[in-house]
Chain A
Amino acid sequence: MTLDTQFTDQKFKLVGSRPDRPDGVDKVTGRARYGADASAPGQLVGAILRSPHAHAKIKKIDTSKAEKLKGVKAVITSADLPDLTNGNRGNYDILENCMARGRALYDGHAVAAVAAIDAETARRALSLISVDYKVLPHVTDVDAAMRSNAPIVQPHVRTAGGEPSDKPTNIAQISTFGHGDVEAGFAKADKIVEKSYKTEQTHQGYIEPHACLATVGPDGQGELWVTTQGHYTFRNLCASLLGMDIAKLKVTSSEIGGGFGGKTHVWMEPLALALSRKANRPVKLVMSREDVFRASGPTSSTSMDIKIGCTNDGRITAATATLRYQDGAFPGIWGMLGAMTAFACYDLENVQSVGYDVLVNRPKVAAYRAPSAPMAAFGVESTIDLLAAELNMDAVEFRLLNAAKEGTKASYGPTYGPIGIGPTLEAVKNHPHMHAPLGKNQGRGMACGFWFNFGGQTCTDLNIGVDGTVNMTVGTVDVGGARASLSLIAAEELGIPYEHVKCNIGDTASLGHNDTTEGSRGTFSSGMATIFAARNAIEELKSRAAKTWDIDPEEVDWVDGEAVAKGVEHSNLGPLSLAQIAKASPNTGGPIAGHSETVADGAGVSFASHICDVEVDPETGSTRVVRYTVVQDAGKAIHPDYVEGQFQGGAAQGIGWALNEEYIYGEDGRLQNPGFLDYRIPVCSDLPFIDTEILEIPNPNHPYGIRGVGETSIVPPLAAIANAVSNAAGVRMDHIPMSPPRIRKAIKAEAAMHQEVSAG
């Protein structure tokens, strides 16, 4: 019974309240320890030499001068990281991304690393390493990389999902999804809109750079303190790449200063371990902001063609998307995810989406919050708006008419259970924001978004102290307030105050494997494991009470934090509280604990609809977001503050992406803006207060109805803002970011066209 994952519509006492987060005081006082905050006796400073070239053959690396410099304890190149991947190409790619193996594949690719007694010595050592490069032709643009004459990034790559061929290509994968007959569908359409779009590459922009402290001894045992979203995944990967036993590498996740998907991958941690192994001293390795931009994992730049047709009464008859996503220098699944998510909001009879994963000489693309979905949504939701305008139909009504619902076959395959797209659209339609007047040069836009969410392997331990307080250890990194939510769940189940629960993030030696905190899974999966662990502990609490009373455990119930003996025959037995049972535990069988090791299946899909008002200065192309509203289905909001925080955070990142953020590459293939001055994430004063509305359409596959909430909120913003800017500026914007020069150019081109038309 305790492992039943079905939603039960349980009535809650604590879940849904908003107590202070347990990590709050540490974070606001600076006591919280992040990736760069750990130190060890005798620790060395690590530093990495990076390729200044977008694409080059490494003919020779001479480290002899650096090795002779006083204070240098280890210098490594790829020769110190032998290939132990045993034919696993995915792991080989990770190894090669961590350090170039004979060729540099992007500006910023690591080519050598040093460990020295201090930062100054490490920096001088890097300048003494001489690398002999043969510069090769490069390609950084996704469309250019698909041309037949493009420089080839990875000669071994052939197109997966494409026509069999022996010719090297930059198209690593073609993924096709959909159903029905799109040609027949378009033939039935009264109106068809077809348009192409582009988005530029953006970075997650987490404030904390990658940082770690690595220790490997000559006995083959090691420890890694690291800022990560998944310390178990890091452990398994690092152990595998370095030839260590998984059990002998203990990885501890620090507090995390933002990840958003960018800390699901290893970037330089294997190098820190390799340096430590060679130097036989602890090595601390901290990326600079420039390193983070050049050599961690931003999201794809894209180029897309969207075509949608509908009848005059507004029913979509067919939709197609061709989505070209850039993966950086190593094959990924980003085009595939774009193709899966593009039309997921709609109930379509005939639909086809094709995703291309394309290699270019840029850093390896990593997940960025609902990876790939925001760009596809930008293309689709812009086209939907254009079509609604063609029909002279309200854009929300048009979406409602075509929205997916329970029983709809999703464009990516499965059939939906109860879902929230319709309800979010209804909420938008009725929201006062949709009906508020607009000022001069202002425009309004709205858009929808979808994300799958994920469950995965999860463990939780729950130990009850003799004073009745509860120590809980979970294996999912707390990226957005999960400790508060999980404490609420444990307290709810056990029937004790929230303040009596302390939730810890365990290191890899404390729990079994936990999948990375990604796919909005933290509260969904660890929430499920916490419920099971608490119910497991309750069974033990009941058995101890039975033992105390000398009755059958079957005759004991758990009610509001107390063991109660059932039936009139036991009416003489007063209830035993959790604290009383805990106090007696040394004499009733020892420590009381609950455990759960599970694969949390059934993550509920999630939908959101956003409304945005902007004001565009027509003379400068400058855009100000004046009002923003997020409506999203949370399934069940355990701690509404952190649900709202996720909604607002996704919108804030989306606003930056939509308006100003972009990787700018020079003709030489070098990144021109690897810093926060010229890579413009919004500052506080750039954003309005972001209003939120939480809908709760229970996920049938979770006892509390939880759906992941962390990612969906970044899916609609690009499109919602593009629709708003297009309405404000009077010209359709089809290139993200809509930076002031792009908006000015579009306004001028539109004016010139009108002039031509009126003159013509």
Chain B
Amino acid sequence: MANAKGSAFLLAGGTDLLVRMKSGAIDPELIVDIKRIPATQAITKTASGFKIGAGVPCAQLGRDAALVKAWPGVVEAANLIGSDQVQGRCTVAGNLCNASPAADSVPAMVAARAKAAIVGAGGRRSVAVEKVVTGPGRTSLEKGEFIEAIVLPTPAPKSGDAYLRFTPRTEMDIAVCSAAVNLTLGPKGVVTAARVVLGAVAPTVVLVPAAAKAIIGSTLDDDALANLAAACEAACAPIDDKRGTVEFRTEVAGVLARRAAKLAYERAGGK
């Protein structure tokens, strides 16, 4: 891939790549299909968490009981992409590399502190998922580099994550805006750690520390939730387009963050 003169692409699921090729948006010189490389096809439980090979279709995430138990939010995000048929092909690594601000799995992965295992001519490196995408359609990958796996940590005890998106349709749709929350509870149901991430409200997904701060130390009471929503709204910098208005995206991002936080709280064992 490093030696390709024109544009070179990795084919994992191909659910974005083929669409872009057929629409004439790209005309690759080289395509490397990684589906037949066994290492890309496995979800591996490691001492520190999970390693999801770059070729693992999203549908497979939903069938891995340990992964579903550890990261239900990441799995539900991956299982919202496209349709059942698309999920039989598409991958979370590909979802990340497509670099759409509306990618479903990315906010959940960022909330989960996922890392991308990158390999290239110069060797291997590990990068936080939020550092991979630099703008719509742009990544920080160097020429010749690709993601071989997504690595998720083992969640802390009494943790929960959740992902919600807004789409006018129930499926076969793209997020108008979305929110992922990953949180950990201490004694008496008090939130001790949290990550709140928004999708489709800025050129890349947005990690919102102020929103996390709004709920840390709380038992997710109404005031904390209102502050969370306000912090999320403040972090939004969306565009007006055919999929939604600035006003609508901003407002609904706050609503979704609130609902995702409640869901994550329940999953963490909070009442």
Contacts and interface: CB of A to CB of B under 8 A. Distances in A.
Interface of A: 123, 619-622, 659-660, 664, 672-673, 676-678, 680, 682-683, 685-686, 739-741, 744-745
A683 B86 CA distance: 15
Contacts of B245: 741
Closest 10 CB pairs of A and B: A741-B248, A685-B170, A672-B242, A619-B255, A664-B242, A660-B168, A673-B242, A683-B172, A686-B170, A678-B242
Nearest to A744: B248
Interface in B161-203: 166, 168-174, 176
A620 B167 CA distance: 10
Contact of B170 (A677, A683, A739): A683
Max count, chain B CB within 10 A of own CB: residue among A123, A620, A659, A664: A620
A664 B247 CA distance: 18
Contacts of B106: none
Contacts of A686: 169-170
Contacts of A685: 170-171
Given A619-B255, A660-B168, A680-B168, A741 B173 contact: no
B166 A620 contact: yes
Given A677-B172, A685-B171, 14 more contacts: A620-B252, A621-B248, A622-B168, A660-B169, A677-B173, A678-B242, A683-B170, A683-B172, A739-B168, A740-B176, A741-B247, A741-B248, A745-B247, A745-B248
A754 B84 CA distance: 45
B171 A683 contact: yes
27 contacts: A123-B24, A619-B252, A620-B166, A622-B166, A622-B168, A659-B168, A660-B168, A672-B241, A673-B242, A676-B172, A677-B172, A677-B173, A680-B173, A683-B169, A683-B171, A685-B170, A685-B171, A686-B169, A686-B170, A739-B168, A740-B176, A741-B245, A744-B248, A744-B251, A744-B252, A745-B247, A745-B248
B243 interface: yes
A672 B239 CA distance: 15
B88 interface: no
B251 A740 contact: no
Contact of B168 (A664, A740, A744): A740
Contacts of B62: none
B244 interface: yes
Contacts of A620: 166, 252, 255
Interface residues of B, number: 20
A343 to B, nearest CB: 33
A105 B168 CA distance: 32
A673 B168 CA distance: 15
A675 to B, nearest CB: 9
B226 to A, nearest CB: 13
Contacts of B252: 619-620, 740, 744
Contacts of A676: 172
Contacts of A619: 252, 255
Contacts of B244: 741
A713 to B, nearest CB: 22
A620 B166 CA distance: 8
A740 B249 CA distance: 11
Contacts of B166: 620, 622, 740
Interface string B226-266: 00000000000000011111011001100100000000000
A67 B254 CA distance: 57
A740 B176 CA distance: 11
A685 B244 CA distance: 22
Given A672-B242, A673-B242, A744-B248, A680 B255 contact: no
Contacts of B247: 741, 745
Nearest to B255: A619
Interface in B18-46: 24
A680 B176 CA distance: 13
Nearest to A659: B168
B95 to A, nearest CB: 16
A676 B171 CA distance: 12
B171 A740 contact: no
A740 B248 contact: yes
Contacts of B171: 683, 685
Interface string B77-112: 000000000000000000000000000000000000
A745 B248 CA distance: 8
A678 B243 contact: yes
B242 A682 contact: no
Contacts of A673: 242
Contacts of B255: 619-620
A471 to B, nearest CB: 40
Nearest to A661: B168
Contacts of B242: 664, 672-673, 678
A615 to B, nearest CB: 13
A202 to B, nearest CB: 14
A683 B241 CA distance: 22
A389 B17 CA distance: 54
Contacts of A664: 242
Contacts of B248: 621, 740-741, 744-745
Interface string B111-139: 00000000000000000000000000000
Nearest to A660: B168
A739 B241 CA distance: 14
Nearest to A290: B23
B247 to A, nearest CB: 8
Nearest to A656: B169
A740 B170 CA distance: 13
Contacts of A745: 247-248
A739 B248 CA distance: 11
Contacts of A682: 169
Contacts of B170: 683, 685-686
A595 B255 CA distance: 67
B220 to A, nearest CB: 17
Contacts of B168: 622, 659-660, 680, 739-740
Contact of A677 (B174, B176, B241, B251): B174
Nearest to A671: B242
A253 to B, nearest CB: 29
Contacts of A123: 24
A613 to B, nearest CB: 17
A622 B248 CA distance: 12
Interface string B43-80: 00000000000000000000000000000000000000
A686 B173 CA distance: 12
A262 B192 CA distance: 59
Contacts of B24: 123
A339 B176 CA distance: 38
B79 to A, nearest CB: 14
A752 B153 CA distance: 47
A620 B242 CA distance: 17
Contacts of A680: 168-169, 173
B240 to A, nearest CB: 10
Contacts of B172: 676-677, 683
Contacts of A621: 248
Nearest to B23: A290
A653 to B, nearest CB: 15
A685 B171 CA distance: 8
Nearest to A619: B255
Contacts of A660: 168-169
A621 B252 CA distance: 9
Max count, chain A CB within 10 A of own CB: residue among B166, B168, B169: B168
A674 to B, nearest CB: 10
A386 B171 CA distance: 34
Max count, chain B CB within 10 A of own CB: residue among A678, A741, A745: A741
A745 B66 CA distance: 43
